Amino acid sequence: MAAPTALRTIGQSIPKRDAYSKATGGAAYAGDVRFPGTLEAKVLRSTHAHARILSIDTAEAEALPGVYAVVTGKDVPPTRIGRFIRDRHALAREKVLYFGEPVAAVAAVNEETAERAIRLIKVQYEELPAVFDPEEALAPGAPILHPDLPSYVDTGRPERSGNMRNRVVHEVGSVDQAFAEPGLIIYEATYRTPRQSQAFTEPHAAIAQTDPDGKVTVWAATKAPFGERQSVADTLGLPLSRVRLISPVVGGDFGGKGAAFIEPIVALLSRKARRPVRLTLSRMEEITAMTSRPSCVIRLKMGVRPDGSIVALDGTMLMNVGGVDDTGGGGAGAANSLIGAYRIPNARVVATSAYTNSSPAGHVRAPGGPQTSFATESHMDSLARLLRRDPLDLRLQNALRDGDTAPSGHGILRNVGLQACIERARDWMASNLGDIGPNEGVGVALSLWALHPNPAKVNSSATVRIDMDGGVVVLTGVTDQGGGQWTIVRQVAAEVLGVPIERVSVIAADTEATPQEQGTGGSQTTYRVGNVIRQAAEDARRKLLRLASERLGVDEEELDTQDGEVFSRSDGSKRLTVAEIAQTAGGSSSGPIIGTDAEDREREIREQGEERTETVDAPSFACHVAKLSVDPETGLISVSKYYTSQDVGRALNPRNCKGQIEGGVVFGLGYALSEEILSENGTNLNANLWEYLLPTAPGIPELTVELVEVPSTFGPFGAKGVGETPCIPVAATIANGVEDAIGVRVTQAPLTPERVLAAIQARGKS
Amino acid sequence: MIERATTRLHVETQINGENTDYLCGPEQSLLEVLRDVLGLTGTKEGCNDGNCGACSVLMGSRLVNACLVLGAEAEGQEIRTIEGLAGPDGLHPLQQAFLETAALQCGICTPGFLIAAEALLDRESEPSEERIRFWLAGNLCRCTGYDKIVRAVQLAAERLRQAGQLREMEVPT
């Protein structure tokens, strides 16, 4: 009887509870929330990339019948808002910094009237010199976008001045000395990566309602309701308690729905109009004026000994973060990811991001990852070619191992699953690649995504309560934008409490009901929030067992839970259902059963404090393989097979893990082959879904995903993060496959037919 | 002074088997009518210009993007939306297969995919994988990578074929 209970729900492919409502049309996204008397909003956007606003005349718009409110920068306080750096206003106040920046907004009875009103607003601009190239933006004499930049509130404390949004220098060893080593083979190249749209299918949408007493509630498509509440409160000059943000089901995020761009606008309009106001952005607004992955130029130099050991790396990254920046510094914080999955004793990376008058940069799945990986993993193949080595073999030789210093330079790596991923990939290649025909090739690349260095110290919290009928309710600020976050939350709570998964429900992402949460992203929800849920569930379990112990006359240590019952391990007849215990809890000295994460969290940080400074969980690693062919006449790449092995630590929900990985690979294929926001003088030219080319079903290769499980030390039940890793190395995998197929190296992503053809023709000339 | 609204059209149609009538502006799309006039928000808006397929609905046997069809065009038609896909006995085999194979993540594209796939299976009982992929080329999904969606359609097609064969066997000769 005393045998330890095996895991019941962890490791099971539990279907998502909301899948039913999503598949029947019943799921209500932010754009589906409706109230009687709701007004429609439209935003007037800047027609200049850089200009001073001389005047805004809204009289005619206000006089138009059916218009209830018009707001401009005059309605916005000087306090700036932003997710990481507070560098903008909800509506431009004195200057516009990019084409499409919100200048005014209207709420009217219907969209048509709002649109007409927008056209009646007269804005006088004084055009200012604009700069679009990040290198030019950093040069002396460039027009300065943010003269007050040093005074801005920023989450980090990076070097920043002029148009330099930030600069991060990551250095280990003695780089210059290392490159001077005699006999060292040195290879240098420059790589360019595009601006990529998150291209979630659900555009930004929000609806705001203002109570007669002035309290504002906003339902928004966001992954960070608490952060957005701050931006709305700052814009409206309200305390946090007077603003409520609710994130219903979110239709995809991929990094782009964490910052308040439209929410403060609908809130302002709703307050002024005294009616509910809603806004859904058009696809053109999404790609013209909302955030995208910053474009990046990477110069990379590596020194390798003839035996294949890489001893030195020197790299610079320059990112264009646009007029306002919704990244943590252009992903420059990811500077160390340019070192990749390798043990390189001497490395220096200087990552700089620059403000320009381009559209804003923001987070896109795995911020900083695909850019750096395209450079490093392309470079690794070029080194292998120089050394006449098998590309996987060279990677394996230099791969990070258990006991190595983490790429961040802080802590010793444990639980490295990289070697296992490479071995699995090799096995698959041996039996699945088939014949390689003319113009066909195989590309490989490694991927990594670092986990939170200390998942215990996080801006998250959870409450777990047990209802009188034995049902378990988890309150969490975490959103679910499709990754199955709420399912993992339920699985963790069900496992800890020993109740069937069906009995666990989630109340989530409502700033008035749920504990604070920093936001869903970075492949950290399972790893980080999963722990908080576990801790709160364990607290509830302790309270449950204490009550059961009193009623059964059995020591708490003797008790266990399973299938919704608490029972004595030594005497199976002594048992109570969770419902029976919960029913008496209210009248007991302990009160109703409510668990929080506070106690275990403190204890764990105390206990593991020393260990955590020494040990860090290895990143989530993966090995990718693509088989492809290149049409030498057109430059068109066709990928026939795509394989990835990924270390997920422990798959808490294997089917969802695989789903994340498949989706990530295809996201990466878009970045590799076709996705690129094209821009001219700050205006994005392909701001629609017929010229911004996303992957579609016919072009997708046969996908094979293998899960590798090297459990983590700190993640719940050994889990590591999953979602970012798979999209990171795809562009390099494809570029490496192209060189294998036709012998040309393409150093700019995406590898469009034009670029591949140009590379073929350039080779012909040389 | 209230400016007169533009002329409104009275449209009589059938939506998910029910006779329905509504007033709409001559410029209003069927998508706007479904979502804003009739409150059928299961049909989603992703781009409003016919490029994402999230608003796929059936107009008779025609698969259309509701954003590219006028509300007035529904006159006398039979419209089928995601809200009408499940039968009285439960989920449609396509919906069931999507749930079982985890062919949806954020779900915003799912109604469109289900309707598009239904249009295909209405026409063909045994579509090849290639046929399914090309048929669904007008529907964008950013989460799944499409593989599980294609598998779900294959699974549903197979089940529908089996059910069809069973029904044929039951028919007395």
Q: What is d(CA A749, CA B88) in angstroms, rounded to the nearest whole number? A: 50
Q: pLDDT tens-digit profile of A201-246?
A: 999 999 999 999 999 999 999 999 999 999 999 999 999 999 999 9
- How many alpha carbons lie under 13 Å from residue A518 in its C-beta half-sphere? 15
Nearest to A191 by CA among A377, A460, A65, A445: A377
Q: Decide: helix, strand or coil at residue A293.
A: strand
Q: What is d(CA A497, CA A537) in angstroms, rounded to the nearest whole number? A: 6
Q: pLDDT tens-digit profile of A267-303?
A: 999 999 999 999 999 999 999 999 999 999 999 999 9
Structure tokens at A356: 């320009």
Residues of B in contact with A656 (CB under 8 A): 102
**Average pLDDT, rounded, for chain A:** 94
Q: What is the arithmetic mean of pLDDT over A101-126? A: 97
**Start-to-end CA span in chain A (Å):** 77
Where are the extended beta strands (E) located within A118-268?
122-127, 159-161, 164-172, 185-193, 196-197, 205-210, 216-220, 243-246
pLDDT band at A613 (very low <50, low <70, confident <90, very high): low
How many Cβ atoms sit within 10 Å of the Cβ of residue A703? Answer: 21
Fold of B9-82: Ubiquitin-like (UB roll) (3.10.20)
pLDDT band at A610 (very low <50, low <70, confident <90, very high): low
**Is the model's pLDDT at A336 over the cut of 90?**
no
The answer to whether A235 and A264 have CB atoms below 8 angstroms apart is yes
Domains identified in chain A, total number: 2
Q: pLDDT tens-digit profile of A569-601?
A: 999 999 999 999 999 887 777 789 999 998 888
Evaluate the omega torsion of the peptide bond into residue A750 and state whether it is cis, within 30 degrees of 0. yes
**DSSP assignment, residue A106?**
E
Give rounded-to-5 percent helix, strand, coil for chain A.
35, 25, 40
ipTM, two decimals, is 0.96
**Is the model's pLDDT at A2 over the cut of 60?**
no
- The DSSP element (H or E) to which A319 belongs, if any, is strand A310-322
Q: What is d(CA A252, CA A202) in angstroms, rounded to the nearest whole number? A: 7
Mean pLDDT for back-to-back runs of 10 residues, chain B (173 residues):
69 98 96 97 97 98 98 98 94 97 97 98 97 98 98 98 80 56
Q: pLDDT tens-digit profile of A55-70?
A: 999 999 999 999 999 9
The pLDDT score that the predictor gives to residue A585 is: 87
Q: Which residue type is seen at A196?
A: Q
Q: What is d(CA A733, CA A605) in angstroms, rounded to the nearest whole number? A: 39
Q: What is the arithmetic mean of pLDDT over A443-457? A: 84
Q: Which residues pair with A57 in a beta bridge?
A: A122
Domain edge (last residue) among A589, A613, A637: A613
CB contact under 8 A, A663 and B46: no
Which of A:21-40 have CB within 8 Å of B? 22-29, 31-32, 34
Q: pLDDT tens-digit profile of A623-678?
A: 999 999 999 999 999 999 999 999 999 999 999 999 999 999 999 999 999 999 99
Choose the mutation target among A12, A14, A16, A24 for the interface with B, i.e. most B CBs under 10 Å: A24
Q: pLDDT tens-digit profile of A501-516?
A: 999 999 999 999 999 9
Q: Per the domain annotation, does A603 fall within a domain?
A: yes
Is there a common fold for B9-82 and B93-162?
A: no
The pLDDT score that the predictor gives to residue B4 is: 52
Q: What is d(CA A145, CA A135) in angstroms, rounded to the nearest whole number? A: 14
CB contact under 8 A, A659 and B52: no
For chain A, percent of residues with pLDDT exceeding 70: 97
Give rounded-to-5 percent helix, strand, coil for chain B.
45, 15, 40
**Is the model's pLDDT at A456 over the cut of 90?**
no
**Is the model's pLDDT at A4 over the cut of 80?**
no
| Cα angle for residues A344, A347, A349 (degrees, 5° grid) | 135
Structure tokens at A723: 């979602």
CATH of the domain at A223: 3.90.1170.50
Q: What is the arithmetic mean of pLDDT over A6-16? A: 90
Query: What is the maximum span of chain B, computed from C-alpha positions, in angstroms?
Result: 73
Q: Which residue is associated with the tokens 């989630």?
A: A506
**Is the model's pLDDT at A454 over the cut of 80?**
no
**DSSP assignment, residue A510?**
B
Nearest CA in chain A to B41: A32
**Residue B111 CB contacts under 8 Å (≥ 6 apart), including other chains:** A23, A25, B42, B43, B44, B54, B56, B81, B82
> Which residue segment(s) compose the domain that A274 sits in?
33-128+198-289
Shortest alpha-carbon distance between residue A23 and chain B (Å)? 6
Which of A:211-270 have CB within 8 Å of B? 249-254
Structure tokens at A41: 């909003």
**Start-to-end CA span in chain B (Å):** 73
Which of A68-72, A330-334, A421-425 is predicted least confidently? A330-334
Q: What is d(CA A419, CA A406) in angstroms, rounded to the nearest whole number? A: 16
Phi, psi at A444, each rounded to 5°: -130, 160
**Is the model's pLDDT at A606 over the cut of 90?**
no
Residues of B in contact with A34 (CB under 8 A): 39, 41
Residue positions counted in chain B: 173
Structure tokens at A116: 């007409």
Phi, psi at A30, each rounded to 5°: -55, -35
Q: pLDDT tens-digit profile of A709-757?
A: 999 988 999 999 999 999 999 999 999 999 999 999 999 999 999 999 9
Q: What is d(CA A199, CA A456) in angstroms, rounded to the nearest whole number? A: 33
The pLDDT score that the predictor gives to residue A493 is: 98
Domain edge (last residue) among A289, A314, A334: A289
Q: Per the domain annotation, does A96 fall within a domain?
A: yes
Chain-centroid distance, C-alpha A277 = 29
Q: Per the domain annotation, does A466 fall within a domain?
A: yes
The pLDDT score that the predictor gives to residue A328 is: 78
Which of A:50-69 have CB within 8 Å of B? 65-66
CB pairs under 8 A between A and B: 174
Higher pLDDT, A122 or A522: A122
Q: Per the domain annotation, does A330 fall within a domain?
A: no
**Residue A728 CB contacts under 8 Å (≥ 6 apart), including other chains:** A366, A369, A370, A373, A447, A448, A449, A622, A668
Q: pLDDT tens-digit profile of A387-410?
A: 999 999 999 999 999 999 887 777
Residue spans of the domains in chain B: they are: 9-82, 93-162
**Residue A109 CB contacts under 8 Å (≥ 6 apart), including other chains:** A39, A40, A66, A68
Cα R_g (chain A), whole angstroms: 27
Q: What is d(CA A443, CA A701) in angstroms, rounded to the nearest whole number? A: 14
Where are the extended beta strands (E) located within A556-632?
559-562, 565-568, 575-577, 594-596, 615-617, 620-630
Q: Which residue type is seen at B140?
A: L
Q: What is d(CA A349, CA A356) in angstroms, rounded to the nearest whole number? A: 22
- Of the partner residues B3, B52, B106, the one whose CB lies closest to the CB of residue A65: B3
Domain edge (last residue) among A231, A259, A289: A289
Where are the extended beta strands (E) located within A609-689?
615-617, 620-630, 637-647, 679-680, 683-684
Q: Are strands A615-617 and A412-414 parallel, antiparallel or unpaired?
A: parallel
Pick left, alpha or beta for residue A706 (phi over 0 → left; psi -120 to 50 → alpha; otherwise beta). beta
Q: What is the CATH number of domain B93-162?
A: 1.10.150.120
Q: pLDDT tens-digit profile of A556-570?
A: 999 999 999 999 999
CB contact under 8 A, B2 and A659: no
**Is the model's pLDDT at A540 over the cut of 80?**
yes
**Is the model's pLDDT at A93 over the cut of 50?**
yes
Structure tokens at B160: 């529908």
CB contact under 8 A, A201 and B140: yes
